[in-house]
């Protein structure tokens, strides 16, 4: 993904742009010969980013130190 498009998604989220506007812009940034699979992959990617950002805003996060502790425990098994 080119830097220009990454910047758009970052700005769009914080300015509360509708998902439809982001989707249209993402489609415009894809090459004209993009496959259906690559189009769907891009939409899923954007949806996952949006879901993660909403989780952060809602406080549904695990602190970094806790993740490190859990990972250490799992690797010891």
pLDDT confidence of residue 16? 64
User: Sign (positive/negative) of CA torsion 49, 51, 52, 54?
Assistant: positive
Q: How far is CA 49 from the centre of its chain?
A: 2
Instruction: Taking residues 46-62, report their average pLDDT.
Output: 88
Number of domains in the chain: 1
pLDDT confidence of residue 8? 57
Question: Residue 54 pLDDT more than 70?
Answer: yes
Instruction: Taking residues 48-72, report their average pLDDT.
Output: 91
- Single out the residue of 33, 9, 32 nearest to residue 22, CA to CA: 9
The maximal CA–CA distance of the chain, rounded, in angstroms, is 49
Structural Rg of the chain based on CA atoms:
17
Domain housing 22: 3-76
1-53 confidence digits (pLDDT tens): 444 556 555 655 555 678 888 888 889 889 999 999 999 999 998 888 888 88
């Amino acid at each position: 993904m080119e830097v220009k498009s990454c910047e758009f998604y970052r700005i769009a989220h914080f300015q509360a742009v509708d998902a439809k506007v982001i989707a249209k812009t993402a489609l415009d940034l894809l090459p004209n010969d993009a496959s259906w699979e690559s189009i769907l992959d891009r939409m899923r990617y954007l949806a996952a980013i949006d879901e993660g950002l909403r989780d952060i805003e809602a406080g549904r996060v695990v602190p970094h130190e806790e993740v490190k502790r859990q990972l250490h425990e799992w690797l010891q098994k």
